Protein backbone atom coordinates (compact mmCIF):
# COMPACT_ATOMS: atom_id res chain seq x y z
CA UNK A 1 0.00 0.00 0.00
CA UNK A 2 1.48 3.34 -1.08
CA UNK A 3 1.37 6.39 1.16
CA UNK A 4 0.57 9.63 -0.68
CA UNK A 5 3.39 12.16 -0.54
CA UNK A 6 2.51 15.46 1.15
CA UNK A 7 4.08 18.50 -0.43
CA UNK A 8 4.42 20.84 2.54
CA UNK A 9 5.53 23.64 0.23
CA UNK A 10 1.94 23.83 -1.06
CA UNK A 11 0.57 24.38 2.47
CA UNK A 12 0.61 27.79 4.19
CA UNK A 13 2.98 28.51 7.05
CA UNK A 14 0.79 28.72 10.18
CA UNK A 15 2.03 30.80 13.11
CA UNK A 16 0.62 31.89 16.44
CA UNK A 17 1.85 35.46 16.87
CA UNK A 18 2.07 36.89 20.39
CA UNK A 19 4.17 39.53 22.14
CA UNK A 20 4.73 41.68 25.21
CA UNK A 21 4.24 39.11 27.94
CA UNK A 22 6.04 41.37 30.45
CA UNK A 23 6.46 38.51 32.90
CA UNK A 24 6.94 39.78 36.44
CA UNK A 25 5.08 43.04 35.89
CA UNK A 26 3.26 44.77 38.73
CA UNK A 27 0.29 47.09 38.28
CA UNK A 28 0.03 49.83 40.93
CA UNK A 29 2.12 47.49 43.15
CA UNK A 30 -0.31 44.59 42.49
CA UNK A 31 1.52 41.47 41.27
CA UNK A 32 0.22 40.14 37.96
CA UNK A 33 2.20 36.90 38.00
CA UNK A 34 -0.85 34.68 38.67
CA UNK A 35 -2.80 36.54 35.97
CA UNK A 36 0.08 35.96 33.53
CA UNK A 37 0.25 32.28 34.44
CA UNK A 38 -3.50 31.98 33.80
CA UNK A 39 -3.17 33.69 30.40
CA UNK A 40 -0.26 31.46 29.41
CA UNK A 41 -2.38 28.42 30.28
CA UNK A 42 -4.97 29.74 27.80
CA UNK A 43 -2.17 30.25 25.25
CA UNK A 44 -1.17 26.60 25.70
CA UNK A 45 -4.78 25.58 25.06
CA UNK A 46 -4.78 27.67 21.87
CA UNK A 47 -1.59 25.93 20.72
CA UNK A 48 -3.13 22.49 21.35
CA UNK A 49 -6.28 23.44 19.44
CA UNK A 50 -4.70 25.25 16.47
CA UNK A 51 -1.48 23.16 16.15
CA UNK A 52 0.44 25.94 14.36
CA UNK A 53 3.80 25.31 12.77
CA UNK A 54 5.43 27.65 15.32
CA UNK A 55 4.81 30.13 18.12
CA UNK A 56 6.51 33.51 17.64
CA UNK A 57 6.96 35.93 20.58
CA UNK A 58 7.82 39.45 19.42
CA UNK A 59 9.76 40.72 22.42
CA UNK A 60 9.32 42.04 25.97
CA UNK A 61 9.12 38.52 27.30
CA UNK A 62 10.12 39.89 30.70
CA UNK A 63 9.14 43.24 32.18
CA UNK A 64 12.64 44.04 33.47
CA UNK A 65 16.18 43.46 32.29
CA UNK A 66 16.81 41.65 35.58
CA UNK A 67 13.62 39.58 36.01
CA UNK A 68 12.43 38.16 39.31
CA UNK A 69 13.05 34.51 40.14
CA UNK A 70 9.30 33.84 39.90
CA UNK A 71 9.13 35.38 36.42
CA UNK A 72 12.06 33.24 35.24
CA UNK A 73 10.40 30.12 36.70
CA UNK A 74 7.15 30.92 34.87
CA UNK A 75 8.93 31.31 31.53
CA UNK A 76 10.87 28.10 32.12
CA UNK A 77 7.68 26.15 32.87
CA UNK A 78 5.89 27.63 29.85
CA UNK A 79 8.69 26.80 27.40
CA UNK A 80 8.95 23.23 28.71
CA UNK A 81 5.21 22.73 28.19
CA UNK A 82 5.29 24.18 24.67
CA UNK A 83 8.30 22.05 23.73
CA UNK A 84 6.39 18.98 24.95
CA UNK A 85 3.72 19.77 22.34
CA UNK A 86 6.37 19.55 19.62
CA UNK A 87 5.70 23.13 18.49
CA UNK A 88 8.76 25.27 17.76
CA UNK A 89 9.12 28.61 19.60
CA UNK A 90 10.94 31.68 18.31
CA UNK A 91 11.21 34.53 20.83
CA UNK A 92 13.21 37.76 20.61
CA UNK A 93 14.40 40.31 23.15
CA UNK A 94 12.42 43.55 23.41
CA UNK A 95 13.46 46.87 24.91
CA UNK A 96 12.46 45.60 28.40
CA UNK A 97 14.57 42.43 28.10
CA UNK A 98 18.26 41.86 28.66
CA UNK A 99 19.39 40.22 25.39
CA UNK A 100 22.07 38.21 27.19
CA UNK A 101 19.77 36.95 29.96
CA UNK A 102 16.91 36.06 27.62
CA UNK A 103 19.18 34.07 25.31
CA UNK A 104 21.04 32.22 28.07
CA UNK A 105 21.27 28.52 27.12
CA UNK A 106 19.87 29.24 23.65
CA UNK A 107 22.28 26.89 21.84
CA UNK A 108 21.21 24.01 24.06
CA UNK A 109 17.51 24.90 23.79
CA UNK A 110 17.60 24.85 19.99
CA UNK A 111 17.82 21.07 20.27
CA UNK A 112 14.26 21.24 21.64
CA UNK A 113 13.27 23.71 18.90
CA UNK A 114 13.13 26.62 21.34
CA UNK A 115 14.91 29.55 19.66
CA UNK A 116 15.66 32.52 21.96
CA UNK A 117 17.29 35.36 20.05
CA UNK A 118 18.83 38.33 21.84
CA UNK A 119 21.79 39.28 19.63
CA UNK A 120 21.52 41.33 16.44
CA UNK A 121 24.31 39.57 14.54
CA UNK A 122 22.20 36.54 13.61
CA UNK A 123 19.18 38.25 12.01
CA UNK A 124 20.12 37.11 8.48
CA UNK A 125 20.16 33.46 9.61
CA UNK A 126 16.48 32.45 9.69
CA UNK A 127 14.82 29.64 11.57
CA UNK A 128 13.48 27.09 9.08
CA UNK A 129 9.98 25.88 9.99
CA UNK A 130 8.77 22.41 8.92
CA UNK A 131 9.77 22.83 5.31
CA UNK A 132 7.08 25.52 5.02
CA UNK A 133 8.91 28.79 5.51
CA UNK A 134 11.51 30.88 7.32
CA UNK A 135 11.38 33.23 10.33
CA UNK A 136 13.95 36.02 10.61
CA UNK A 137 14.29 37.02 14.25
CA UNK A 138 15.25 40.69 14.80
CA UNK A 139 15.49 41.64 18.49
CA UNK A 140 15.06 45.25 19.63
CA UNK A 141 17.48 47.43 17.69
CA UNK A 142 19.60 49.73 19.85
CA UNK A 143 21.41 52.20 17.55
CA UNK A 144 24.38 52.33 19.94
CA UNK A 145 24.79 48.55 19.72
CA UNK A 146 24.59 48.68 15.91
CA UNK A 147 27.25 51.40 15.82
CA UNK A 148 29.51 49.14 17.87
CA UNK A 149 28.81 46.15 15.59
CA UNK A 150 29.44 48.00 12.34
CA UNK A 151 32.02 50.56 13.44
CA UNK A 152 29.92 53.24 11.71
CA UNK A 153 29.87 56.21 14.09
CA UNK A 154 27.71 58.24 11.67
CA UNK A 155 24.75 55.89 12.14
CA UNK A 156 21.99 57.61 14.15
CA UNK A 157 18.38 56.79 15.03
CA UNK A 158 16.33 53.61 15.04
CA UNK A 159 15.29 53.85 11.40
CA UNK A 160 18.86 53.88 10.09
CA UNK A 161 19.99 51.23 12.58
CA UNK A 162 17.07 48.95 11.71
CA UNK A 163 17.71 49.35 7.99
CA UNK A 164 21.34 48.34 8.55
CA UNK A 165 20.35 45.27 10.60
CA UNK A 166 17.68 44.08 8.15
CA UNK A 167 19.49 44.64 4.85
CA UNK A 168 21.19 41.23 4.84
CA UNK A 169 18.04 39.46 6.04
CA UNK A 170 16.00 41.10 3.28
CA UNK A 171 18.54 39.99 0.70
CA UNK A 172 18.45 36.43 2.03
CA UNK A 173 14.63 36.41 2.03
CA UNK A 174 14.52 37.54 -1.60
CA UNK A 175 16.28 34.32 -2.61
CA UNK A 176 13.85 32.00 -0.80
CA UNK A 177 11.06 30.11 -2.55
CA UNK A 178 9.03 29.60 0.64
CA UNK A 179 7.16 32.21 2.74
CA UNK A 180 9.31 34.52 4.86
CA UNK A 181 8.37 36.13 8.16
CA UNK A 182 10.13 38.93 10.04
CA UNK A 183 9.80 38.88 13.84
CA UNK A 184 10.65 42.34 15.22
CA UNK A 185 10.24 44.67 18.19
CA UNK A 186 9.90 48.32 17.22
CA UNK A 187 7.69 51.40 17.14
CA UNK A 188 6.52 51.61 13.52
CA UNK A 189 5.40 54.96 12.17
CA UNK A 190 1.62 55.18 11.74
CA UNK A 191 0.88 52.84 14.63
CA UNK A 192 -1.50 53.96 17.38
CA UNK A 193 0.23 54.15 20.76
CA UNK A 194 -1.94 53.59 23.84
CA UNK A 195 -1.21 56.26 26.50
CA UNK A 196 0.62 55.04 29.63
CA UNK A 197 0.90 51.47 28.33
CA UNK A 198 4.52 51.36 27.17
CA UNK A 199 7.64 53.35 27.96
CA UNK A 200 8.88 55.36 24.95
CA UNK A 201 11.94 54.04 23.14
CA UNK A 202 13.39 57.53 22.78
CA UNK A 203 12.42 61.19 22.77
CA UNK A 204 10.48 62.52 19.77
CA UNK A 205 10.41 60.54 16.52
CA UNK A 206 14.00 59.24 16.66
CA UNK A 207 12.75 55.92 18.01
CA UNK A 208 10.24 55.26 15.23
CA UNK A 209 10.78 53.15 12.13
CA UNK A 210 8.99 53.64 8.77
CA UNK A 211 6.92 50.64 7.71
CA UNK A 212 8.89 50.57 4.44
CA UNK A 213 12.02 49.66 6.44
CA UNK A 214 10.36 46.33 7.23
CA UNK A 215 9.49 45.53 3.60
CA UNK A 216 10.71 42.42 1.80
CA UNK A 217 8.94 39.78 3.90
CA UNK A 218 5.58 38.07 3.46
CA UNK A 219 4.49 38.88 7.03
CA UNK A 220 5.94 41.08 9.78
CA UNK A 221 5.09 39.99 13.35
CA UNK A 222 5.61 43.00 15.61
CA UNK A 223 5.90 43.62 19.32
CA UNK A 224 6.26 46.74 21.52
CA UNK A 225 2.87 48.47 21.25
CA UNK A 226 0.18 46.91 23.43
CA UNK A 227 -2.81 47.55 21.19
CA UNK A 228 -3.41 44.90 18.49
CA UNK A 229 -3.39 46.60 15.08
CA UNK A 230 -2.36 46.43 11.45
CA UNK A 231 0.12 49.18 10.56
CA UNK A 232 0.54 48.33 6.89
CA UNK A 233 -0.46 45.38 4.69
CA UNK A 234 0.84 42.21 6.38
CA UNK A 235 2.56 44.25 9.13
CA UNK A 236 0.86 43.69 12.49
CA UNK A 237 1.13 44.09 16.23
CA UNK A 238 -0.46 41.23 18.16
CA UNK A 239 -0.81 43.38 21.29
CA UNK A 240 0.22 42.50 24.82
CA UNK A 241 -0.67 39.33 26.69
CA UNK A 242 -2.70 41.23 29.32
CA UNK A 243 -4.07 44.73 29.94
CA UNK A 244 -1.17 46.55 31.55
CA UNK A 245 -2.68 50.02 31.98
CA UNK A 246 -6.11 51.51 32.54
CA UNK A 247 -5.78 53.07 29.09
CA UNK A 248 -5.99 49.50 27.75
CA UNK A 249 -9.30 48.77 29.52
CA UNK A 250 -11.22 48.55 26.22
CA UNK A 251 -8.66 46.29 24.48
CA UNK A 252 -9.38 42.69 23.52
CA UNK A 253 -6.22 40.80 24.43
CA UNK A 254 -5.01 37.60 22.83
CA UNK A 255 -2.83 36.38 19.98
CA UNK A 256 -3.02 36.17 16.19
CA UNK A 257 -3.27 32.95 14.19
CA UNK A 258 -1.57 33.75 10.89
CA UNK A 259 -1.44 31.73 7.68
CA UNK A 260 1.38 32.98 5.47
CA UNK A 261 1.91 32.30 1.78
CA UNK A 262 4.06 34.12 -0.75
CA UNK A 263 2.68 37.66 -0.89
CA UNK A 264 -0.36 36.99 1.32
CA UNK A 265 -1.21 36.52 4.97
CA UNK A 266 -4.56 35.64 6.55
CA UNK A 267 -5.01 36.66 10.18
CA UNK A 268 -7.50 35.42 12.77
CA UNK A 269 -7.64 36.82 16.33
CA UNK A 270 -7.41 34.29 19.15
CA UNK A 271 -9.01 35.67 22.32
CA UNK A 272 -7.34 34.59 25.54
CA UNK A 273 -9.25 36.68 28.08
CA UNK A 274 -8.05 37.75 31.52
CA UNK A 275 -8.24 36.15 34.95
CA UNK A 276 -8.99 39.61 36.36
CA UNK A 277 -10.28 42.27 34.01
CA UNK A 278 -8.97 45.83 34.05
CA UNK A 279 -11.78 48.38 34.14
CA UNK A 280 -12.74 51.96 34.93
CA UNK A 281 -15.88 53.02 36.79
CA UNK A 282 -17.14 56.47 37.71
CA UNK A 283 -19.76 57.99 40.02
CA UNK A 284 -20.47 59.28 43.50
CA UNK A 285 -19.31 57.20 46.43
CA UNK A 286 -22.78 56.28 47.70
CA UNK A 287 -23.90 55.16 44.23
CA UNK A 288 -20.77 53.12 43.58
CA UNK A 289 -21.21 51.24 46.84
CA UNK A 290 -24.91 50.53 46.19
CA UNK A 291 -25.47 50.04 42.44
CA UNK A 292 -26.28 46.36 41.74
CA UNK A 293 -25.03 46.57 38.13
CA UNK A 294 -21.49 47.16 39.39
CA UNK A 295 -21.32 43.76 41.10
CA UNK A 296 -19.64 42.37 37.98
CA UNK A 297 -16.56 44.49 38.79
CA UNK A 298 -15.94 43.05 42.25
CA UNK A 299 -13.07 40.88 41.02
CA UNK A 300 -11.63 43.42 38.57
CA UNK A 301 -8.54 45.60 38.81
CA UNK A 302 -10.19 49.00 39.02
CA UNK A 303 -9.58 52.67 38.55
CA UNK A 304 -12.39 54.68 40.14
CA UNK A 305 -13.21 58.29 39.33
CA UNK A 306 -15.23 59.91 42.13
CA UNK A 307 -17.75 62.62 41.28
CA UNK A 308 -18.43 63.66 44.88
CA UNK A 309 -18.12 67.36 45.63
CA UNK A 310 -15.38 67.99 48.13
CA UNK A 311 -12.98 65.62 49.80
CA UNK A 312 -13.97 62.02 50.61
CA UNK A 313 -12.21 60.67 53.69
CA UNK A 314 -10.39 57.34 53.18
CA UNK A 315 -12.00 56.88 49.76
CA UNK A 316 -9.90 53.93 48.63
CA UNK A 317 -10.58 51.87 51.78
CA UNK A 318 -14.31 52.54 51.53
CA UNK A 319 -14.35 51.43 47.91
CA UNK A 320 -12.25 48.35 48.65
CA UNK A 321 -14.92 47.13 51.07
CA UNK A 322 -16.94 46.32 47.93
CA UNK A 323 -14.23 46.21 45.24
CA UNK A 324 -11.14 44.56 46.78
CA UNK A 325 -8.83 45.45 43.87
CA UNK A 326 -9.29 49.21 43.59
CA UNK A 327 -5.81 50.26 42.50
CA UNK A 328 -6.30 53.95 41.75
CA UNK A 329 -8.80 56.62 42.80
CA UNK A 330 -9.24 59.84 40.87
CA UNK A 331 -11.52 62.84 41.43
CA UNK A 332 -13.18 65.13 38.93
CA UNK A 333 -14.76 67.86 41.10
CA UNK A 334 -12.21 68.50 43.86
CA UNK A 335 -10.96 71.77 42.37
CA UNK A 336 -10.14 75.14 43.95
CA UNK A 337 -13.30 77.21 44.34
CA UNK A 338 -15.66 74.38 43.40
CA UNK A 339 -18.95 74.07 45.25
CA UNK A 340 -18.52 72.22 48.53
CA UNK A 341 -14.72 72.26 48.38
CA UNK A 342 -12.32 73.43 51.04
CA UNK A 343 -11.50 76.69 49.21
CA UNK A 344 -15.16 77.60 48.69
CA UNK A 345 -15.85 77.09 52.39
CA UNK A 346 -12.96 79.41 53.30
CA UNK A 347 -14.42 82.16 51.15
CA UNK A 348 -13.10 85.58 52.06
CA UNK A 349 -11.56 84.44 55.34
CA UNK A 350 -8.34 83.16 53.78
CA UNK A 351 -6.29 85.22 56.23
CA UNK A 352 -8.11 83.97 59.36
CA UNK A 353 -6.34 80.95 60.85
CA UNK A 354 -9.36 79.80 62.84
CA UNK A 355 -11.63 80.15 59.79
CA UNK A 356 -9.19 78.05 57.76
CA UNK A 357 -9.11 75.40 60.47
CA UNK A 358 -12.92 75.35 60.74
CA UNK A 359 -13.36 75.03 56.96
CA UNK A 360 -10.77 72.26 56.76
CA UNK A 361 -12.36 70.20 59.55
CA UNK A 362 -15.87 70.63 58.15
CA UNK A 363 -14.69 69.55 54.68
CA UNK A 364 -12.68 66.54 55.82
CA UNK A 365 -14.63 65.29 58.84
CA UNK A 366 -18.01 66.90 58.36
CA UNK A 367 -18.00 68.51 61.84
CA UNK A 368 -17.24 71.94 63.28
CA UNK A 369 -14.35 72.20 65.77
CA UNK A 370 -15.26 72.25 69.45
CA UNK A 371 -13.86 74.67 72.02
CA UNK A 372 -11.05 72.32 73.05
CA UNK A 373 -10.03 71.70 69.42
CA UNK A 374 -10.11 75.42 68.61
CA UNK A 375 -7.97 76.19 71.67
CA UNK A 376 -5.48 73.47 70.79
CA UNK A 377 -5.17 74.81 67.25
CA UNK A 378 -4.72 78.38 68.56
CA UNK A 379 -1.93 77.22 70.88
CA UNK A 380 -0.20 75.48 67.96
CA UNK A 381 -0.43 78.61 65.79
CA UNK A 382 1.00 80.73 68.64
CA UNK A 383 3.88 78.28 69.14
CA UNK A 384 4.77 78.43 65.44
CA UNK A 385 4.61 82.24 65.48
CA UNK A 386 6.91 82.47 68.53
CA UNK A 387 9.41 80.12 66.87
CA UNK A 388 9.41 82.21 63.70
CA UNK A 389 9.96 85.45 65.69
CA UNK A 390 12.83 83.86 67.62
CA UNK A 391 14.54 82.81 64.44
The residue extents of the domains of the chain are 8-271, 276-334, 344-391
How many residues appear in the chain? 391
Number of helical (H) and strand (E) elements in the chain, helices listed first: 11, 19
According to the model, what pLDDT value does residue 196 have? 73
Which of 65-79, 161-175, 199-213 has the weakest average pLDDT?
A: 199-213
Superfamily of 8-271 according to CATH: Metallo-dependent phosphatases (3.60.21.10)
Which of 47-61, 140-154, 319-333, 341-355 has the weakest average pLDDT?
A: 341-355
246 phi, psi to nearest 5 deg: -70, -20
Q: Is pLDDT larger for residue 2 or for residue 45?
A: 45
In whole numbers, what is the pLDDT of the chain averaged over residues? 89
Return the axis-axis angle of helices 353-365 and 371-390, rounded to nearest 10°. Answer: 130
Q: Would you list the DSSP string of 73-117?
A: HHHHHHHHHHHHTT--EEEE--TTS-HHHHTTTHHHHGGGTEEEE
According to the model, what pLDDT value does residue 362 have? 64
Strands 127-129, 133-138: pairing kind: antiparallel
Give 276-334's CATH code, choosing from 3.30.160, 1.10.1060, 1.10.10, 1.10.3470: 3.30.160
Please give the average per-residue pLDDT across 287-307, as a whole number.
96
343 phi, psi to nearest 5 deg: -65, -35
If pLDDT is split at 50, 70 and 90, which confidence band does 336 have? very low
Question: pTM score, two decimals?
Answer: 0.83
Reply yes or no on whether the pLDDT at 338 is more than 60. Answer: no
Which of 11-25, 47-61, 376-390 has the weakest average pLDDT?
A: 376-390
In tens, the pLDDT along 322-333 reads 999 999 999 886
User: Which residues are paired to 183 by β-bridges?
Assistant: 137, 221
Please give the average per-residue pLDDT across 25-33, as a whole number.
95
Taking the alpha carbons at both ends of the chain, their separation in whole angstroms is: 106
Give whole-number Cα distances, 42 to 33, 78, 272, in Å.
Answer: 14, 11, 6
In tens, the pLDDT along 55-99 reads 999 999 999 999 999 999 999 999 999 999 999 999 999 999 999
How far apart are alpha carbons 218 and 295 in whole angstroms? 47
Three-point CA angle 92, 186, 251, nearest 5°:
95
Reply yes or no on whether the pLDDT at 198 is more than 50. Answer: yes
Q: Are 13 and 53 in contact (CB under 8 A)?
A: yes
Amino acid sequence: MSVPRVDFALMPLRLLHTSDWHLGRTFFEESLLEDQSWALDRLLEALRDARPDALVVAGDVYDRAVPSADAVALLDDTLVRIAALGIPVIAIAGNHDSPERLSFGSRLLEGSRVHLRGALDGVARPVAISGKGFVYAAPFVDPEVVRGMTGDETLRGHAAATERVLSAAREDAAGRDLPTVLLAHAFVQGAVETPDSERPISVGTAGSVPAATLAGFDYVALGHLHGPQEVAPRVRYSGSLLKYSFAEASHEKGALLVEVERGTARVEPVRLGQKRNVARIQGKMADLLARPDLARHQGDLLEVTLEDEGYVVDARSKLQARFPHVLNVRRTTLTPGGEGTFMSRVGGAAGDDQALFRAFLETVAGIAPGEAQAACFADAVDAVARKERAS
